[in-house]
Structure 1
């Protein structure tokens, strides 16, 4: 029965995905087909629907629409230029300074917006043309922008860790946020090392340093946006409020910032921002419901246990198993979005990792790191195609300049995977 159910689930899902049917529907239909194989139709349909509905009856899910709304407000709030100017303060005297500015800007904007696509579009839209004017190759500037955009999926606040926390059975969101921040910063630093080496070889110019008065003005304009990270993460870590309350605080703060401080959004724009938030929330919630049904179908058929036996049958070494999981997740990330991948594969892979003594927080960071790489890799990496579109270059022309960035990111992934103290140091320090 395990073999028949597994084949039904996998083949149904693969065929529907190949036919370009939305992934949420693929998951729901494949789950229902698998349940129909194992029990009568009335029970199968009832249990599938029950699992889909009950999975959304979770108070912690309130954080998702609030964080999405705060990100939408920030995306429309015109803060990209302010963060670019702020990033110049840290990279102005380094060879390839404009590229470093792009990378640091992506790290900051991705964190406050919670979106790699938003970072790539907003920061890259400013920095790529500017870099080309200063003599940088356009493809290199675009590659640096694309490679560093996913850092915002690791640096909090980010909904990916909230989803993982729910699916994993209550892993600390505060601990995931802090571990993810370390991994995201290491990712950005890895990209900066590549940018430095290329800039030295190509003799790219450095940006003109800002005067003290200009630097103060830049800090004054950018710091209110950056405070969002410290308010949200600091509030959760120090017990001022829960993750759900933090998401509501984030909405209030970003609304005040955009409407009153920067005056970059008008009240008339809020309905459109709300509608965009509703659409995105609806997609995520449906994916969560469908994935819960799939998780139950897999558990009922015994598929996770069979996969666990296969992996552990290859090796019971933590090093080898983590390597296998990394390779598997890197492949999954190349054709599946991060949300569905977290929902589907966490219930399968997390028990294997914990059985070998891997901390759930560390595994969550490693998992999301892997899947974030998939957003900038062919064949369906959304970040890759959006970044190429923003830079107005062909995707094929970006592969070669992206290769050293890919290598650096993979090396950082291995460091994060096999040195768990890096991601667990801050959570343990703050006792979360």
Structure 2
């Protein structure tokens, strides 16, 4: 069965079948061809994959993001970021980074960031004289901050795919790596801007402009505080935090009179479509991941790795390299669901903290969103900006290097991921 599963998976993937259906076709076909399992197990695993209370946080966070965007608060965040850092060298590039960090506290999605604020700032950068491929590359790279800074949809998926990790703990584990991503990209943007002469706005924002921009952005900035504060102080669970965030966004839209029936309907439809695609991937990947575990593939892989090295750090580097390669060819969400039950037991048996491993895996696969040949964020930016994917891929290389340095820090320094969660009592 193992050979049938693997061969069908890569064959359908090579033929260009969407990855959700690739996993479903490979898993269901392997069950039928082998004949040793009741075919009803496929249906059971699909349902079990999405029958999860923590997973309910995903549609709520997606809806909250859509409603906040419909409120027009993206422009408020842009104005706030421009007032803070727009005057420094490469100012619009720094605005791009800061807006993505702020928007990450609302959306939890790289694709939402890439199609929203990052795309807006990319157009602003091009109009200001930045080379179009660099503007696109920076917008793609900054979008990857979205799944790292809480709330993170990928953190929710990882937490329900493994034992010993809570959603809240992994949310906290993403704070320092998310900030480090922003800092590393800011340094890279400064170097590039110095080389090519990209300047910021002529004048620093006055106190009056900064005050006005801050006041307009406060409604959007409050949402991350509501989510994390409510979770940390035990007011609500991460799933309930998603519901509260959606209710807050809905209340805010009506308060600001930003909603019409048309915009409200469109926001709910977009949220439903994105949620449906996420749940379809989770359901199909659940069949595939369960079969991998049933066939004891993680145990076999563990034997191979331990023959190479028994060092904790060495094993973590091997797992990181394996995940990075998978991220080149498999989309982020299905790769996370497949790899977590395979690599997780290997990491835990080697004494690697689940929070460190989880953040390494999430960050690793998120970086894969800006690497060809899959690179979904690259394709979104290329489509929105009408750019050639080949040139965009070259322009993103120095920014990719900056993100890999952060990944290296997460691997070498466990405290980068574990310090904040441990401080709040989420030790594993």
- Scaled to the shorter chain, the TM-score interval is over 0.9
1:81 aligned to which of 68, 75, 80: 75
Deviation of 1:89 (Å):
3.3
Q: Does 1:213 align with 2:208?
A: yes
Q: Which residue of 2 aligns with 1:230?
A: 225
Kept after mapping to 2: 8 A contact 1:172/1:361: no
Kept after mapping to 1: 8 A contact 2:4/2:30: yes
- What's the CA shift string for 1:4-47, capped at 9, x where partnerless? x322111111111222223222212211233345544xx43022
Q: Which residue of 2 aligns with 1:304?
A: 298
Q: Does 1:244 align with 2:203?
A: no
Q: Which residue of 1 aligns with 2:363?
A: 369
TM-score when scaled to structure 1?
A: 0.94
Stretch of structure 1 that moved more, 306-315 or 390-399: 390-399
Deviation of 1:73 (Å):
1.4
Structure 1's unaligned 5+ residue stretches are: none
- What's the CA shift string for 1:33-85, capped at 9, x where partnerless? 33345544xx4302222222233332222212111211221233322221111
Distance in 2, matches of 1:26 and 1:132, equals: 38
Q: Does 1:132 align with 2:132?
A: no
Q: Which residue of 2 aligns with 1:7?
A: 3
> Aligned-residue CA RMSD in angstroms?
1.7
Distance in 1, matches of 2:291 and 2:130, equals: 52
Map 1:35-114; keep pairs closer than 5 Å.
35-40=31-36, 43-114=37-108
Q: Which residue of 2 aligns with 1:379?
A: 373
Q: Does 1:421 align with 2:415?
A: yes
Stretch of structure 1 that moved more, 406-415 or 93-102: 93-102
Distance in 2, matches of 1:52 and 1:23, equals: 15
2:136 aligned to which of 135, 142, 147: 142
- What's the CA shift string for 1:267-296, capped at 9, x where partnerless? 333333223322222222222222222222
Distance in 1, matches of 2:119 and 2:21, equals: 34
Kept after mapping to 2: 8 A contact 1:374/1:381: yes
Q: Which residue of 1 aligns with 2:20?
A: 24
- What's the CA shift string for 1:90-127, capped at 9, x where partnerless? 32342111110111111212331222222223223332
Go from structure 1 to structure 2 and tell me whether the alpha carbon gap of 1:189 and 1:341 turns closer, same or farther (over 3 Å shift): same
Kept after mapping to 1: 8 A contact 2:80/2:213: yes
Kept after mapping to 1: 8 A contact 2:87/2:205: no
- What's the CA shift string for 1:165-207, capped at 9, x where partnerless? 0001251111111111211111111110011111122232221
Q: Which residue of 2 aligns with 1:115?
A: 109
Distance in 1, matches of 2:300 and 2:270, equals: 41
Distance in 1, matches of 2:136 and 2:247, equals: 34
Distance in 2, matches of 1:134 and 1:23, equals: 39
- What's the CA shift string for 1:338-389, capped at 9, x where partnerless? 1111111100000111111111111111101011011111112111121123
Distance in 1, matches of 2:48 and 2:269, equals: 25
TM-score when scaled to structure 2?
A: 0.94
Q: Does 1:431 align with 2:425?
A: yes
Kept after mapping to 2: 8 A contact 1:75/1:118: no
Distance in 1, matches of 2:113 and 2:290, equals: 36
1:33 aligned to which of 25, 29, 32: 29
Distance in 2, matches of 1:278 and 1:391, equals: 26
Q: Does 1:186 align with 2:177?
A: no
Distance in 2, matches of 1:74 and 1:362, equals: 31
Map 1:299-378; keep pairs closer than 5 Å.
299-378=293-372
Go from structure 1 to structure 2 and tell me whether the alpha carbon gap of 1:399 and 1:277 turns closer, same or farther (over 3 Å shift): closer
Stretch of structure 1 that moved more, 271-280 or 22-31: 271-280
Deviation of 1:423 (Å):
1.2
Stretch of structure 1 that moved more, 348-357 or 380-389: 380-389
Kept after mapping to 1: 8 A contact 2:84/2:205: no
Distance in 1, matches of 2:12 and 2:395, equals: 34
